[in-house]
Every structure is written in structure tokens, then in C-alpha cells.
Amino acid sequence: MRILITAQASYSHLAPLVLPVAEAAQRAGHEVAVATGPDVVEHIEKRGLTAFTLPAVKALGEVLQGGALQRPIGMEQVGSVTIELQPEFFAAAFVGLLAAPCARDLLDLAREWQPDLILHESTEYGGYLAAERLGIPHGALDIAPMAPYAHPVVTEELNRQRAEFDLEPVSDPWHPFRAFRAGVVPEDFYPTDSRLPGARHYRVPAQKTRGTLDPDIARLPTDRPLVLATLGSNVPRFSDGATALLQTIIETLGELPVTGVVALGADRDPQLWEGSRADNVHLTSFVQQELLLQSSDLFLTHAGFNGTREALTAGVPMVAVPLFAEQSQNAGRLQELGVGTRLKAQDVTREALSAALRTVLEDRSYRSRAQGLQRRAHALPDLDRLVEDAAALVS
């Protein structure tokens, strides 16, 4: 069977699920290809997978820089304030502007490659539109459960795009996901109104790490709780507000009876860090997050979904300081589930952050509930089963 998987032209949209699923499908004997924009094709080929370059597909950042889409209000203040994901922006960007060029390129590709099945990561609508136009089975790999897929403005934009491709309108906001949605956290994580009867949930294997854990981190003291803190690998690209937020995090951890590990972000040398330091806080540019979470007591995070999933799989409670995208919705869901608490970036002071950290560390119910989700995550079938289930869509 030929399986085509589509994704946004961003590594963060490929790595958590698209690439592992493609590898699992390839191991199962299927002919597999991943289609995306030219900027990230190398990451696919490095994994020994077939990559198809879609010439018209651009990353969201490139589209924003080009002025074809208005940047979300306040993005220049990322780190100083939490930027909420507006359904109108999601609809215009992901369902509209990014989807149409992808769908057109995919239709050209499909005439030659003739896939039997198209799987699209959940924010990539071009694969869905192309599959609908071709009349072939399709399904979604859910990398962002809290995105506003069912909002009326998203359905309205979806129908505009369907009309562009001579498709009848749909009234079901979950139509792109209805045939097959593969989640990678237990169903409990999903709010009740976004749980679909046919949705299935799977366990993502631990990612291959760059060698063993950093020896300096391995030798850190063990007489205090370990708190891992990161705002994501891209934080150096953000405004000065993000740097100030990191500074507050380091200062706050320095005042608490904990051992802190703070990842400053890719390409930010901790030796050149000009902010404050603390004897009990280890600074690094990169941390083997999935490994270190297994021995962490608390995760201070921006609530990106991949890190959130990894922490839940490790049974680690969280304090979330969301920055942008659907991170605020992820953080809110963690609080609703009682596995963490959240602070908006604009509300972070040393006093407020210290109180949040102390609450989660000292109230064992956070850890207990996180471990409950961990057990349910460990009971999920693996990605080999996902491939079997997806292949069954092809009659």
C-alpha cells in the first residue's frame, strides 16, 4: 500500500508524530512518503524516509514575514505576555492560506505517485483537501489536540477551501478527523466536547537521544527536588521579554529548596549568559528532555504539546507559562485535569512563580494525578497498531 503523510513545513510538526508513524509504516512493508515544504525535507531524508518536496508550501513564519498574513496581535511581546491563539487566525492561516497551495501541489504529486491513503498531521489541511478531491481515504495525526478545530470560523473557512476544490460543503466541524483521528495522549486529556467516537489513541516510543545524559546533569545533588525548566528551543529568537522571563525563572529557582536545570534554548551558550546565576541552578543550552523528565519532580514549561505529552508520559506534574499558539489552551487543560497549574507570562513575578512551584511540589495530589495519566498512557497500543488501523481505512 502507498501511504502519503503530509505536514506543515516545520520540524516541530514533523518530529513528534509524523516521522515515527512514517517509520512504523515503512517497517510494516508499506511504501511511504512524507510530503512537505522544501525547508524541512532534509529532516525526513536523514531518517531514511522518502520525502516529496511541495514547492509552494511555506512555513508559517515565512508567510508572516512576507506579509501575506497579519501577525497575531502582540507577537512582538512574546515572553512578556501570553499570546492567545485566536480561532480566526487559525482558520485564516492553517485552513486557508497554508492549506490551498499544499493541496494543489499534492494533486499534482498524486497523479504520478497515486497514494492509496493520505494521513495529514492535524494542523495541515492540504492533505485532507487533496484526499477529498481524489476520493481516497484519509485520516489525521493529532499533534495539537487543543487547537480550535471545531470553531464555526474554522468550519466556514474549511468550506471556502472545499468550494475552491469543487467539493460540497460540510456541516460537521470534525469532518477532517471523523474517519480516523490518531491521538497520542490518553482520551482523558481531551475535553469532553472534542472526544470523537471513532478516535483512537496510541503510545509514541521514546525518541532517540543524542547519547547519554549530560554527565554534569547526572552529577547534580539528589537531596532536593529536581525542577526542569524550558521555554522551548526557539526561545532565543523571541523578544527581550522571553529573556527576561528566563531571568525570572532562574532567580526564582535560586530562592527555592530545589535543584534546577534551565535550558536556555538552542545556540545560546550558558557561558555567555549575562543574567543572574544561582548555585542550585544548572544552565544549559540543550537538555535531553525526555530522559531527564524520568527523574524530575516538576516540569516548568511553556506547554508546547510535545513537551506536555512527554511530561505526562513520565508522570511529572507541571507549572505552565504559555507563550503563544495553542500553548495557553494546553496549559488550561493541565490545570483542569489537576496535573499542573498555569501562569500567564504577564503575571509572572518571582513571588507568583515561587508560589506556583511550591504548590505543585508540596501538594502530592498533582503528582498522583500525573501518574494516573502516565499509567493510562503506558497502556496505549504502539504506533505499529496505528499503522494497522490506518491501513484498514483502505477497503
Pick the closest to residue 141 from 336, 309, 331 (CA basis): 309
Q: How many domains does the chain have?
A: 2
Is residue 208 a part of any domain in this protein? no
Question: Which range of residues forms the domain containing residue 181?
Answer: 2-203+380-391
Mean per-residue pLDDT, 279-295: 94
Hey, CA dihedral for 241, 245, 248, 254, is it positive or negative? negative
Q: Do 340 and 385 belong together in one domain?
A: no
Is residue 209 a part of any domain in this protein? no
Are 191 and 209 in contact by the 8 Å Cβ rule? The answer is no
Q: Do 227 and 181 belong together in one domain?
A: no
- Greater confidence, 38 or 61? 38
Is residue 263 a part of any domain in this protein? yes
pLDDT of residue 238: 64
Q: Do 52 and 183 belong together in one domain?
A: yes
Q: Locate 135 and state its grid cell.
A: 476520493
Q: Which residue reads 492533505 in cell numbers? A: 127
Mean pLDDT, the chain, integer:
94
Q: Do 243 and 149 belong together in one domain?
A: no
DSSP at 232: -
DSSP state string for 138-194:
EEEE-S-TTS-TTSHHHHHHHHHHHHHTT----S-TTHHHHS-EEESS-GGGS-GGG
What is d(CA 234, CA 100) in angstroms, rounded to the nearest whole number? 27
Is residue 26 a part of any domain in this protein? yes
Nearby residues of 56 by Cβ (< 8 Å), 6 or more positions away:
101, 102, 104, 105
pLDDT digits (tens, 9 = 90+) for 148-188: 999 999 999 999 999 999 999 999 999 999 999 999 999 99
pLDDT of residue 266: 77
pLDDT of residue 268: 83
Q: Do 264 and 170 belong together in one domain?
A: no
Q: Do 62 and 81 belong together in one domain?
A: yes
Q: Does residue 209 surpass a pLDDT of 60?
A: no
Cα–Cα distances in Å, from 342 out to 299, 330, 345? 12, 10, 9
Is residue 348 a part of any domain in this protein? yes
Is residue 299 a part of any domain in this protein? yes
Mean per-residue pLDDT, 249-256: 97
Q: Do 171 and 286 belong together in one domain?
A: no
CB atoms within 10 A of CB 98: 25
The 3-state DSSP class for residue 321 equals coil
What is d(CA 93, CA 96) in angstroms, rounded to the nearest whole number? 6
Q: Which residues pair with 200 in a beta bridge?
A: 182
Is residue 123 a part of any domain in this protein? yes
pLDDT digits (tens, 9 = 90+) for 59-80: 888 888 777 788 787 777 888 8
The 3-state DSSP class for residue 323 equals coil
pLDDT digits (tens, 9 = 90+) for 335-347: 999 999 999 999 9
Is residue 210 a part of any domain in this protein? no
Q: Do 198 and 233 belong together in one domain?
A: no
What is d(CA 321, CA 169) in angstroms, rounded to the nearest whole number? 39
pLDDT of residue 278: 94
Q: Do 356 and 292 belong together in one domain?
A: yes
Q: Does residue 128 surpass a pLDDT of 60?
A: yes
First to last CA, the chain: 11
CATH of the domain at 234: 3.40.50.2000
